[in-house]
A and B are shown apart, each in its own frame.
Chain A
Amino acid sequence: MDPAEAEFLAEKELVTVIPNFSLDRIYLIGGDLGPFNPGLPVEVPLWLAVNLKQRQKCRLIPPEWMDAEKLEEIRDQERKEDTFTPMPSPYYMELTKLLLNYASDSIPKADEIRTLVKDTWDTRIAKLRLSADSFVRQQEAHAKLDNLTLMEINTTGTFLTQALDHMYKLRTNLQPGESAQSQDF
């Protein structure tokens, strides 16, 4: 899967915005979007929130987990544990990127948040690489990883499966057997 596709899926997540216009309830295929009244917070999917912000029609409110202290705790916990800890949102990386790109003026301490999220991501990717490395070395057939998000799976997914495929082919060709055939020119 492309990272862009993962981001597309992440854009369905709901965030809170405060609009400055009024509109009645709209009924879309994916769901209803509640009535918009100026000054009253309303939950909308991320794609709509970003579009409205670009057109200066709303103010974005960061999700509750996007706070410097909470993210610091999460980062510290991630560093302590050997396995993956649960993340505040299954799409935390995409949400951070999109919100900090388009609405960094409504998010306090945006630079710190960016650094903290990147630190957490780096720790988790390092753990993933370690785990994939030991999996390959010990030639295990089965592994279980909890609490991974889609974006992280994407970084190693394709590569890991293709590499294992190649290794399997190489291994089967090592064993001399009736199934091994010599190549014809």
Chain B
Amino acid sequence: MFLSDFRKEFYEVIVTQRVLLLVASDVDALCACKILQALFQCDHVQYTLVPVSGWQELETAFLEHKDQFQYFVLINCGANVDLLEILQPEEDTFFFICDTHRPINVVNVYNETQIKLLVKQDDDLEIPAYDDIFRDEEEDEDDSGNESDGSEPSGKRKRFEEDIMERTMKRRQRREWEARRREILFDYEQYEYHGTSSAMVMFDLAWIMSKDLNDMLWWAIVGLTDQWVQDKITQMKYVTDIGTLQRHVSRHNHRNEDEENSLSIDCMRIAFEYDLRLALYQHWSLFESLCNTCYTSASLKLWSVQGQKRLQEFFADMGLPLKQVKQKFNSMDVSLKENLQEMIEESASKFGMKNLRVQTFSIHFGFKNKFLASDIVYATASLMENIEKDEPGTDNFIKALDSLSRSNLDKLHQGLELAKKQLRAIQQTVASCICTNLVISQGPFLYCYLMEGTPDVKLFSKPVSLCLLSKYLLKSFVCSTKNKRCKLLPLIVAAPMDVEQGTVIMVGIPPETESSDKKNFFGRAFEKAAESTNSRTLHNHFDMSSK
């Protein structure tokens, strides 16, 4: 069931209990977890944190802990399946689910006792009405009652005939109802998409309790930016949510305007920026950042020689000498940096890149530390999926969680370096795939398989990195191909997951259009394909479109 008052029905219920937090492995979940942890620390709530990266881990964690805990909080997992059936909990366990995956499973919506959904009702959920899906069992008993009545002595023949008519009518109605039910459920569960960021929902909870801090606001911003970077929400929704957060930002950060009473330089400030969309450009050189951001690399077609020439024309058009541009951004001449954003935007529109600037936020603390929200997203994501040392997944999760605190700047810088490596690897893989025509058109979809020997293929054995790679690949492919039909096809990418066991991880993404509503139908499609080919598949990830 949906909770209407998060404070009374969720927080005040768990504040006196021990709680188990099950958190999925994506940056939005990490941010929501951080906010919730901060609230728990204020009120001394005892909790245990278990990171989970798939359904199997969720089940194992649940089985391990079900005797010790009655209250479970699931972040970014569990809304889109029938949780009670999978976990088989006792009668007195309660689940609070804060998940962005849609559509929400109908059993979770209509269960009144054990499942509580921390979801904002103003997301357009389009849930089918109760009567359309569930039918009381009593009507069947009436039927059977009537039947036994009907088998009385045949003296009442007319009534017998009427009874038969009634029964057949009822059976026909029931069949029609079931057919309609199947249709409604199919339409409802066909496409997968994402709702409001969990970090924003948690921030709202903190705000309702008047315990919101600037730190929590920053985590909410990072959670929303993660959804945008991963292309999980539409542009309109992103802009609307930015507007909501902008109100909170001005409320917390208005003291910076006043010269007399301004805060100490060590205090954290958040500012609204209409900044360039280039990944990590303030921590890298402008040249590298332009080469390794999907939007610019795809529009300029940087995998070809023509593209490289066009890049140099671009810099010449702006009047930036190549030597300056290849330096670290912080060491560039101040005179060049002054009007950089406007200059780049003007030149970019001449080269066909109209949306180079995007609304976002930046954080500023101390004299040296300034980061954009997208920088933090890339850094945290690459820390979480770090394959450099063979540590268990939970260590990476905890490191990524720590890097979100302002006191762990060294971890953040490590994350930034890893993110740079990851972005470079993605660009090189994309360039090689397009140049060697590895993207094959297979009828209704495009297909690409990364061989085992491809450099950096180990980086792509994790779902989030592979998703990022597929999105970049599709964008670049759409810009590179002349075939109009191919531009509208969805893409499936497969990469080896574990070389020893010979398993492969697959991701499917919807076609690239200007106004896509980001709905993904691959969840159901993969399930059907697995059934019909009898292959051994593990639908492990919470995002149904990764297997």
Give A residues with C-beta under 8 Å from B.
Answer: 55-57, 100, 104-105, 107-108, 110-111, 114
Q: How far is the CB of A89 from chain B (nearest CB, A)?
A: 21
Asked if B261 and A108 sit within 8 Å, CB to CB, the answer is yes
Given A56-B211, A56-B213, does the pair A105, B267 have CB atoms closer than 8 Å? Answer: yes
Is B340 located at the chain interface by the 8 A CB criterion? no
Which residues of B does A touch, CB under 8 Å?
A: 41-43, 211, 213, 261, 263-267
In the bound complex, do residue A110 and residue B42 qualify as a contact, i.e. CB atoms below 8 Å apart?
no
CA distance in complex: A77, B255 (Å)? 33
Contacts of A107 in B (CB 8 A): 264
For residue A92, give the distance in angstroms from its CB to the closest CB of chain B.
18
- Cα of A154 to Cα of B267 in the assembled complex, Å: 31
Give A111 to B367 CA distance when docked, in angstroms.
Answer: 12
**Is chain A's interface secondary structure helix, strand, loop, or mixed overall?**
helix
Contacts of A56 in B (CB 8 A): 42, 211, 213
How many whole Å from B262's CB to the nearest CB in chain A?
9
The answer to whether A104 and B41 touch (CB under 8 A), given A56-B211, A56-B213, is no
Residues in B neighbouring A111, C-beta threshold 8 A: 264-265
| The one of A55, A105, A108, A114 that contacts B42, using a Cβ cutoff of 8 Å | A55
In the bound complex, CA of A114 to CA of B261 (Å): 15
Q: How far is the CA of A108 from the CA of B43 in the complex (A)?
A: 28
- Using CB atoms, name the residue of chain A closest to B266: A104
Whether the Cβ atoms of A57 and B267 lie closer than 8 Å is: no
Residues of B within 8 A of A104 (CB): 263-264, 266-267
Shortest beta-carbon distance from A21 to chain B in Å: 11
A101 nearest CB across to chain B (Å): 9
Q: List 23 contacting pairs A-B, 8 Å CB cutoff, sorted by A.
A: A55-B41, A55-B42, A55-B43, A56-B42, A56-B211, A56-B213, A57-B42, A100-B264, A104-B263, A104-B264, A104-B266, A104-B267, A105-B263, A105-B264, A105-B267, A107-B264, A108-B261, A110-B263, A110-B264, A110-B266, A111-B264, A111-B265, A114-B264
Across the interface, name the chain B residue whose C-beta is closest to A20.
Answer: B210
Residue of B nearest to A57 (CB): B42
Chain B residues, CB < 8 A from A108:
261
CB-based nearest B residue for A110: B264
Main SS class of interface, B: loop
Return B276 CB to nearest CB of chain A, in Å: 31
Contacts of B211 in A (CB 8 A): 56
Minimum CB distance partner of B264 in chain A: A110
Q: Residue on A with the closest CB to B265?
A: A111
A105–B211 CA distance with the chains assembled, in angstroms: 16
User: Cβ of A100: which chain B residues have Cβ within 8 Å of it?
Assistant: 264
Residues in B with CB closer than 8 Å to A105 are 263-264, 267
Instruction: Tell me which of A56, A57, A100, A110 has the highest count of chain B C-beta atoms within 10 A of its own C-beta.
Output: A56
Q: How far apart sit A104 and B266, CA to CA, in the bound complex (Å)?
A: 8
Question: Separation in Å of the A61 CB from the closest CB of chain B?
Answer: 15
Cβ of A46 to closest chain B Cβ, rounded Å: 19
User: What separation, in Å, do the CA atoms of A100 and B267 have in the docked complex?
Assistant: 10
Contacts of B263 in A (CB 8 A): 104-105, 110
Docked Cα-Cα span, A110 to B265, in Å, equals: 9
Chain B min CB distance to A35 (Å): 21
List 19 additional A-B contacts (Cβ < 8 Å) besides A56-B211, A105-B263, A110-B266.
Answer: A55-B41, A55-B42, A55-B43, A56-B42, A56-B213, A100-B264, A104-B263, A104-B264, A104-B266, A104-B267, A105-B264, A105-B267, A107-B264, A108-B261, A110-B263, A110-B264, A111-B264, A111-B265, A114-B264
Nearest 10 interchain pairs by C-beta: A110-B264, A104-B264, A55-B42, A111-B264, A56-B211, A56-B42, A105-B267, A108-B261, A104-B267, A111-B265
**Complex-state Cα separation, A150 to B330, whole angstroms:** 44
| A108 CA to B213 CA, complexed, in Å | 19
In the complex, A171→B41 CA distance in Å? 59
Residues of A contacting B261 in the complex (Cβ-Cβ under 8 angstroms): 108
Residues of A within 8 A of B42 (CB): 55-57
Shortest CB–CB separation between residue B177 and chain A, in angstroms?
53
Max count, chain B CB within 10 A of own CB: residue among A55, A104, A105, A111: A105
Q: A111 to B261, alpha carbons, bound, how many Å?
A: 11
A56 and B213 alpha carbons, distance in the complex (Å) = 9
Closest to A114 in B: B264
Contacts of B266 in A (CB 8 A): 104, 110
Identify the interface centre among B41, B261, B266: most chain A CB within 10 Å of its CB: B266
Chain A residue nearest in CB terms to B43: A55
CB distance from B335 to the nearest CB of A (A): 29
Please name the residue on chain A nearest to B41 by beta carbon: A55
CA of A81 to CA of B208, assembled, Å: 55
Across-interface contacts of A114 in B (CB, < 8 A): 264
Output the nearest chain B residue to A106 by Cβ-Cβ distance: B263
Q: Roughly how many angstroms separate A110 CA and B267 CA in the complex, as a whole number? A: 10
B20–chain A nearest beta-carbon distance, Å: 23
Please indicate the chain B residues that have their CB under 8 angstroms from the CB of A110 in the complex.
263-264, 266
